[in-house]
Amino acid sequence: QVQLAESGGGSVQAGGSLRISCVYTYSRYCMGWFRQAPGKEREGVAAIGSYGSLYYDDSVKGRFTITRDNIKNTLNLQMNSLKPEGTATYYCAASLGANSGSCGLGDIFFSIWGQGTQVTVSS
């Protein structure tokens, strides 16, 4: 059973940086980060395929970097130049398939979700 556990959330001032991590029990083909702000729908932030394909939402391109380490079973999201609108609960997500499939930012690519970690960006 694949389990995901996020860590690293916290509070930071606008313009600052934060790295959040997700430890997973088994690697999946597509892994990603989503976020949900109060009163808003969940949105895909970044995703990475098993062979290194990368996907970023336009709002974070150039500021966020997603990486995965399948030896340490860790998914990371380095967030730089954070903005107040980045305040949200960030969720780690994984696809059902382990060795093949498709990857992207939509919910359709993911079936397994973590509990979330809170990121607060103050102005």
What is the per-residue pLDDT for 39? 94
Which residues does 70 contact at the CB level (< 8 Å), separation at least 6?
27, 50
What is the per-residue pLDDT for 97? 87
- Nearest residue to 53 via CA among 123, 104, 118: 104
pLDDT digit string, tens, across residues 94-118: 998 888 889 999 999 999 999 999 9
Average pLDDT of the chain? 96
What is the per-residue pLDDT for 120? 98
b vs e for 23-44, b when ≥16 Cβ sit within 10 Å of the residue's Cβ? ebeebbbbbbbbbeeeeeeeeb
What is the per-residue pLDDT for 117? 98
- Averaged pLDDT for residues 1-16: 95
**H/E segment holding residue 75:** strand 74-79
pLDDT digit string, tens, across residues 63-104: 999 999 989 999 999 999 999 999 999 999 999 888 888 999
